[in-house]
């Protein structure tokens, strides 16, 4: 069964305001790991009352409800994406695009870490994408 926004929002206890559904939809369709600014720019014509603060607040609500997560690429700006199937990221050094790639499994000896407790095993790669080669 395909889940609609309404179902997803209901499950998470989020009231589906128009702004929230548009931001969710944008993340779902664009798949470009947008920043707050990019989401704001893309939706401001359609939602004249939208502010960057609203986008930021909606994203934080989505993060809290585990609909959205921050993309963990050491970039200066926060980037967001939907909580979907696990995957890794590849950032192109030339065009700056962050691609979704199949999940890369980390393989290391946990015993070497002693008392350090790992909570995040994300692997982020960077290099040159096929379009820039
Ligand atoms: Zn590229
Ligand atoms: Zn991604």
29, 67: one domain: yes
Centre of ligand 2 to C-alpha 35, Å, is: 13
Closest Cα to residue 43, out of 14, 54, 76?
Answer: 54
Give average pLDDT by consecutive 10-residue segment, the chain, 133 residues: 78 92 93 94 96 97 94 82 88 93 86 86 91 95
pLDDT of residue 118: 84
- What's the predicted TM-score (pTM) here? 0.80
For residue 132, being part of any structural domain is answered with no
95, 110: one domain: yes
Q: How many CB atoms lie within 10 A of CB 15?
A: 7
For residue 133, being part of any structural domain is answered with no
Centre of ligand 2 to C-alpha 86, Å, is: 8
pLDDT of residue 83: 86
Q: What is the CATH number of the domain that holds 25?
A: 1.10.10.10
Centre of ligand 1 to C-alpha 89, Å, is: 13
Centre of ligand 1 to C-alpha 66, Å, is: 30
Per-residue tokens: 54: 């609203």
Centre of ligand 1 to C-alpha 2, Å, is: 33
Domain hosting residue 120, numbered range: 87-127
Centre of ligand 1 to C-alpha 72, Å, is: 19
54, 100: one domain: no
For residue 15, being part of any structural domain is answered with yes
Centre of ligand 1 to C-alpha 38, Å, is: 19
pLDDT of residue 2: 59
73, 102: one domain: no
From the CA of 79, which ligand is nearest? Answer: 2
48, 99: one domain: no
Task: State the total domains in the chain.
Answer: 2
78, 104: one domain: no
From the CA of 80, which ligand is nearest? Answer: 2
């Amino acid at each position: 069964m395909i889940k609609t926004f309404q179902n997803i929002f209901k499950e998470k206890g989020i009231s589906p305001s128009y702004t929230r559904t548009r931001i969710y939809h944008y993340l779902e369709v664009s798949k470009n790991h947008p920043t707050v600014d990019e989401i704001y720019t893309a939706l401001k014509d359609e939602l004249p009352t939208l502010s960057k603060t609203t986008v930021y607040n909606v994203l934080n609500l989505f993060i809290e409800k585990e609909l959205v997560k921050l993309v963990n690429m050491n970039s200066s700006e926060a980037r967001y994406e939907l909580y979907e199937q696990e995957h890794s990221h590849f950032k192109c050094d030339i065009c700056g695009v962050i691609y979704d790639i199949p999940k890369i499994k980390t393989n290391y000896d946990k015993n070497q870490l002693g008392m350090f407790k790992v909570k995040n095993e994300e692997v982020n790669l960077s290099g040159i994408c096929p379009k820039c080669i």
